[in-house]
Structure 1
Amino acid sequence: MPLKKLTEFLDRNNIEYIVIRHSLAYNAQRIAATTHIPGKEIAKTVIVNIDGRMAMAVVPASYMVNLSLLRDTSGARKVSLASEMEFKDRFPNCEVGAMPPFGNLYDMEVYVAESLIDDEEIYFNAGTHTELIRMFYADFERLVEPVVLRFSKALSA
């Protein structure tokens, strides 16, 4: 079901994409390892509270959201991670933690880390812990119109 909503949206907008099925994995780093896709090309969606409203912060799998930097670059007063209990009902057609970075489908603003935009293509969860979508970053940007800021930090090796 989650994949259907997203692929119908992409199809209506004439977007070229590929669905990739993989073994069950619950975090972006594990998905990268399982699929042999570089972590910097897999976009992980982190739900944050920015001045009391939920938003998506999208970073490469091999990075983490720097909340202080997101607060500073977005001009917000307060930024914090949202708990699963706070956001699970916002994505009724998705498995918790596998939301695609399409805030426009969920009435949420999307912030993309500039560390993600260098690659021509991106991969992201398609609403489940067993499916990814690969598409051109330019198409993603055109559909979602994210705010691109510097707010990510590479994970330690």
Structure 2
Amino acid sequence: MPLNSDVVYKSIKKLLLEEADKKPIMIVLPGNLKVDTKKFKTLYSIKDLRMLTPQEILDQFGLEVGSIPPWGNVLGIPTYFDQALLLNVVVDFNVGFLTKSMEIKYGVLENIVKPIIGEFSVLK
């Protein structure tokens, strides 16, 4: 969605592990937005896109849904950040546990992850 100065974009509350053309990917966006699946698929030339099940996430990455940090590069998978994240000075997220989280400057996170940044969200 185009960035709008009248909208408050929440920090990371939504991190999706999906399968794009049979390969895992990570999609990260503020919690008050959702992925525009059609736009995402068109933008990145993806034919098939589906969410991984909680069991697939546990089996493939050893993590529970809700505990996954936004660094797909560490997990060896492409990571996509929605551009709305850029409006956050800091972002917070869980770090492998449902009870442990951290806060980090967005710019530091972007430098660590080196995500693919795009405009692919819509308001819920």
Same fold (TM over 0.5): yes
Q: Is the 8 A contact 2:9 2:88 kept in 1?
A: no
Say which one has the larger Rg: 1
Equivalent AA in structure 2 for residue 87 of structure 1: I
Counterpart of 1:97 (choices 66, 90, 111) is 66
1:45: how far off?
Answer: 1.1
SS of 2:87's partner is: coil
Q: Is the 8 A contact 1:41 1:119 kept in 2?
A: yes
**Counterpart for residue 34 of structure 2:** 64
How does 1:1-157 map onto structure 2 within 5 Å?
40-92=10-62, 94-155=63-124
Give the TM-score taking structure 2 as reference length: 0.84
Identity of aligned residues (%): 26
Q: Give the count of matched residue pairs.
A: 117
1:96: how far off?
Answer: 3.0
Give the TM-score taking structure 1 as reference length: 0.68
SS of 1:126's partner is: strand
CA RMSD of aligned residues (A): 1.7
- List per-residue Cα deviations over 1:132-156 (Å, max 9, x = no partner): 210011111111110001111212x
SS of 1:77's partner is: coil
For structure 1, the 5+ residue unaligned runs are 1-37
